Amino acid sequence: MASGSGAVSGSAEAAGFGEAAEFGDPAEFAEAAGPADPAGAAEAPVVRGRAERRRTARRAARRRRRSRLREIPLIVVVALVVALVMKTFLVQVFVIPSGSMEQTILIGDRVLVDKFTPWFGAEPERGEVVVFKDPGGWLENQHGAATDGVLLRGAKQVLTFVGLLPSDSEQDLIKRVIGVGGDTVECCDDQGRILLNGKPLDEPYLASGNPPSRQPFKVKVPPGRLWVMGDHRDVSADSRFHMGNPGQGTVPVSGVLGRAFMIAWPVGRVHQLDVPVSLSSVARGPTDPGTARNAVGVDPIPEEPPLVMGVLGILPLVGRRVGRPGR
């Protein structure tokens, strides 16, 4: 009986275990079933997490690419506006196409021109190197036939307007101011020096081997005008060569675009353009209207190509200048 009772009792326990397994506490079932395989249980969630992260990263990359594409037109517009503002009101870069200002400024140099201070009434002073519009008859049109297509021509016109490309219609020149309104400029004294209000000038900026002037002249600069000359006197078609023009070879102050204050390229020639003391220290003459005397016509007149301008002209991104070649 004992053994039978024990068997019955064991069967009951077994039955109880079965009921517990079927209807009992899941925790007891888990404990009874034994420990689970930790490696197998953790592997599936990790794989799903990595895949989800990859999909999220791909979606984020696509969003960034779309965002950049949408931002490009805005960036272009902002860059063009900044370039236009700089060209019009602040600083403009000019590329030198001729040797009329050697050795101070060489062919291919990029000069920075201050267009900001003239807005506050500042006028050019003697000794300053200035960029000015052709006062009339100094330059001849040298436009070649256009060969660009419609789209390329339109793009160039837009970039030229904002100053990112050279203009083929601008008529700008660069020279040094020798006399201002009221001054009397004359060539030359017994030692061959230019006289400014009767005082001989020391001109250390002249090109090597050049005399101050080979053409005699004497002019009283009218008010509001400038007498300008190149530093390379033998090749510069400056005020001396246009004394038969309206203004007697002088340039109106209103036509001055700004003062060239620095050579910005090439790197080895970066320096400030200083004003010679010999010019700035001479007292001004009386500002009564004057007339030119001893004007000398010289034939032939040296060629004077216009400047090439562009805000990005400081960067030699192109191997050659776009526009008219300097001669």
> Over the stretch 21-67, which tens digit does the pLDDT of each residue have?
444 444 444 444 445 454 444 444 545 577 788 878 787 777 777 77
- State both tokens at 139: 């330059």
Going from the C-alpha of 228 to that of each of 49, 73, 205, 209, 280, the distances in angstroms are: 78, 44, 14, 20, 14
Q: How far apart are CA 227 and CA 204, in angstroms?
A: 18
**Looking at residue 34, what DSSP letter applies?**
-
The single residue of 98, 100, 167, 239 carrying the catalytic annotation is 100
The single residue of 87, 156, 175, 220 carrying the catalytic annotation is 175
Residue 301 in this model has a pLDDT that exceeds 50: yes
Residue 20 in this model has a pLDDT that exceeds 50: no
Q: How far apart are CA 40 and CA 34, in angstroms?
A: 15
Q: Poorest-confidence range of 11-20, 36-45, 68-77, 231-240?
A: 11-20
Q: How far apart are CA 94 and CA 312, in angstroms?
A: 9
In this structure, the number of other CB atoms found within 10 A of the CB of residue 276 comes to 16
Order of strands, sheet of 199-200, starting from the edge strand that comes earlier in the sequence: 199-200, 194-196, 184-187, 217-220, 292-293
240-250 mean pLDDT? 90
SS3 category, 112? strand
| Residue 175 annotated among the catalytic residues of the structure | yes
Residue 18 in this model has a pLDDT that exceeds 80: no
Q: How far apart are CA 101 and CA 17, in angstroms?
A: 110
Confidence tier at 315 by pLDDT (50, 70, 90): very low
Residue 57: alpha-carbon gap to chain centroid: 39
Residue 322 in this model has a pLDDT that exceeds 50: no
Q: What is the pLDDT of residue 236?
A: 93
**What is the chain's mean pLDDT, rounded?**
74
Q: How far apart are CA 37 and CA 14, in angstroms?
A: 26
| Residue 115 annotated among the catalytic residues of the structure | no
Residue 297 in this model has a pLDDT that exceeds 70: no
Closest CA to 276 of 231, 219, 225, 215: 231
pTM here is 0.65
Q: How far apart are CA 225 and CA 111, in angstroms?
A: 23
